[in-house]
Every structure is written in structure tokens, then in C-alpha cells.
């Protein structure tokens, strides 16, 4: 399997514009067991399912600096029903493992589904712009220079994207980075050894449910200019550094911390919850603070209600 053959298999699949009455579009392309070098980005189409054998059995090795798989269209073509599953990407520091970008704030990526994919050593592991009804499950992002998962919505919109049982480790800026959009939910995910575990920026109703963040140097969770965020997470660190916080809330409205455990055993300074430019009270229900932050978990004594 090489890039020319893989692209030919995709190009041979049925193709039409957005109107389903014009016939089918896309199909399944199976990737065989083995390590396969790709010298150019692979262009995807609507209705395409790229399927390997497992993320250990099928490895893709990019020999270029662009995305491994990309969908990019500045027109009105909707990238509906793109699926990627059961393969690994051994990167070389290039742009991204999987990148779905519509090129327009008016065009959404609908129902992009990613399952059991491992992306290693790219700038972004998975990048989806303007996603609606998308899902990322059972996947692994490692050593990505910037973000493991990057959801870039450009403008606030109803997105309803769920990430479940997915782990990001050693991703430089953040394991999970969500910019704009609404209804973005992480369930049973983990993020460790970056600067920030999970970043929510300008989001409406984002949530972390049964998630973990470990050994991140700035904070486990950051919410900036958000509304109605729910955080149910285990945030721990044994790093000996200054100004390390469990959660940072900056201009965050109606945030609820639910049954969180925040344990910084060796932090030289920091808070369980660092509140910047407070907007409304933060509700804390049954959370526990241990280590250096046990006696003073909040930087604003009247900012939090229980």
C-alpha cells in the first residue's frame, strides 16, 4: 500500500454533490496489516470509511509535512459521514493525523466518526473544524506538538460532539483543545504530561464526565469565556513547580465542579481552583482538595458555593 494506490482506491468510489438523490457517495477502503509509507496527503470524500486492522497492526508513516488524511473544501460540499478506524499513524512532526476542515464558517463537518486510532508525533493529532454530531472514541494521541484533539469551530454553533475513552499524553500545549462551539462532552478520557489537560474556550455547555488529568504543568482544566461548564474530574500532580492549579476559570459563567478530586502533593504554589475575572459564582459539589492546596483550595474566598 502506498499513497498513489490508496488515493486511487478512494477516487474510484462513487462521488456526487450534496444531493443524495444523485446517487451514493463514498464507501469502505480497507488498509491491510503492515507499515505503509505515504509521500503525500490523502484526500478524502463524503461517505468514506478508512478502516485498518487495528492501530498496532496497520501503521501509516507520513513522509511529508502535511496532514495524513485531509478533507478541505471552500465550497458548499458537506463532509458528511467520514469515518476513520483501526489504524495507527507514526508521524514525523507534520501538520496532523486526521484533518477535516471545511474552509468556511458557514459549512459544517457533519457526523465525522473516529474510532480506535492512534496518532503519534504530529502537530495536531485530530483536527475537526465546524464539526456537528461528531465522535472520537477509544483513541490515543501521543507526543503531538500542540494539541492531541483540536476542535476549532470559528463561530459558536450547535455542535453536539462527544469524545469518549480517549487518551492524550505528552501533547505540548493541551491534550484536548476546544475553541468555540457548544455541547462538547468528554466522557472517561485522560490527559497527562502537557501544559493543560483540557481547554474550553468560548464554549457553551461543555462537560467532563469521569475524566482524568495528571502531571500537567499549568492546570488540569481551563475554562475561558465559557457558559455552563460541568467538571467531574480527577486532577493530580506530583510536580514540584510554581503556580500550578487544578482548574483555572477565566471569565467563566455558571461553572459546576462535581465530585472532583484535586491532589497536588508537591506543588510549590497554586490553587485547586484559580478564578480570574470572576463572572458569577462557581458551584462546588462534594469536591476534595489534597496536598499543598488542602487548606486554601480557592484564590477567591467568596467565589465558590457548596
| Each residue's pLDDT tens digit, 44-55 | 988 899 999 999
Q: How many domains does the chain have?
A: 1
Confidence (pLDDT) at 162: 94
Q: Judge whether 255 lies within some domain.
A: yes
Q: Judge whether 15 lies within some domain.
A: no
| Residue 187 burial (10 A CB sphere; 0-12, 13-18, 19+) | middle
Lookup: cell for 154: 470559528
Please identify which residue in the block is written with the cell numbers 497492526: 57
Structural domain of 215: 146-305
Q: Judge whether 14 lies within some domain.
A: no
Q: Judge whether 141 lies within some domain.
A: no
Residues of the chain with pLDDT under 50: 156
Confidence (pLDDT) at 107: 60
What is the dihedral sign for C-alpha 139, 142, 145, 146? positive
Calpha distance 246→255 (Å, rounded): 14
Q: Judge whether 128 lies within some domain.
A: no
Averaged pLDDT of the chain = 89
Q: Judge whether 59 lies within some domain.
A: no
Calpha distance 4→202 (Å, rounded): 41
Confidence (pLDDT) at 306: 57
- Look at residues 230, 228, 215, 106 and name the one whose alpha carbon lies nearest to residue 170: 215
Q: Judge whether 57 lies within some domain.
A: no
> Residue 270 region, left (φ>0) first, then alpha (ψ -120 to 50), else beta?
left
Q: Judge whether 124 lies within some domain.
A: no
Contact 221, 195 (CB under 8 A): no
Contact 82, 48 (CB under 8 A): yes
Confidence (pLDDT) at 182: 83
Amino acid at each position: 500500500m502506498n499513497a498513489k494506490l490508496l488515493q486511487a482506491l478512494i477516487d474510484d468510489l462513487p462521488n456526487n454533490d450534496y444531493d443524495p438523490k444523485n446517487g451514493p457517495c463514498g464507501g469502505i477502503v480497507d488498509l491491510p496489516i503492515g507499515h505503509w509509507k505515504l509521500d503525500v496527503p490523502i484526500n478524502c470524500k463524503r461517505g468514506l470509511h478508512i478502516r485498518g486492522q487495528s492501530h498496532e497492526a496497520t501503521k501509516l508513516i507520513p513522509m511529508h509535512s502535511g496532514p495524513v488524511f485531509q478533507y478541505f473544501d471552500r465550497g458548499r460540499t458537506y463532509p458528511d459521514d467520514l469515518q476513520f478506524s483501526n489504524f495507527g499513524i507514526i508521524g514525523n512532526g507534520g501538520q496532523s493525523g486526521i484533518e477535516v476542515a471545511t474552509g468556511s464558517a458557514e459549512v459544517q463537518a457533519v457526523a465525522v466518526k473516529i474510532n480506535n486510532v492512534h496518532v503519534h508525533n504530529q502537530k495536531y493529532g485530530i483536527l475537526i473544524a465546524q464539526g456537528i454530531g461528531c465522535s472520537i472514541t477509544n483513541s490515543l494521541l501521543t507526543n503531538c506538538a500542540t494539541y492531541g484533539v483540536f476542535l476549532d469551530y470559528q463561530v459558536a454553533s450547535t455542535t453536539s460532539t462527544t469524545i469518549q475513552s480517549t487518551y492524550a499524553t505528552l501533547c505540548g500545549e493541551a491534550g484536548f483543545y476546544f475553541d468555540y462551539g457548544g455541547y462538547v462532552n468528554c466522557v472517561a478520557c485522560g490527559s497527562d504530561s502537557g501544559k493543560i489537560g483540557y481547554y474550553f474556550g468560548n464554549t457553551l455547555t461543555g462537560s467532563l464526565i469521569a475524566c482524568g488529568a495528571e502531571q500537567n504543568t499549568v492546570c488540569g482544566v481551563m475554562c475561558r469565556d465559557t457558559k455552563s461548564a460541568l467538571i467531574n474530574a480527577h486532577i493530580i500532580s506530583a510536580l514540584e513547580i510554581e503556580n500550578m492549579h487544578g482548574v483555572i476559570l477565566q471569565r467563566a459563567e455558571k461553572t459546576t465542579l462535581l465530585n472532583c478530586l484535586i491532589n497536588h502533593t508537591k506543588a510549590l504554589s497554586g490553587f485547586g481552583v484559580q478564578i480570574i475575572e470572576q463572572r458569577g459564582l462557581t458551584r462546588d459539589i462534594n469536591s476534595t482538595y489534597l496536598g499543598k492546596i488542602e487548606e486554601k483550595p480557592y484564590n477567591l474566598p467568596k467565589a465558590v458555593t457548596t
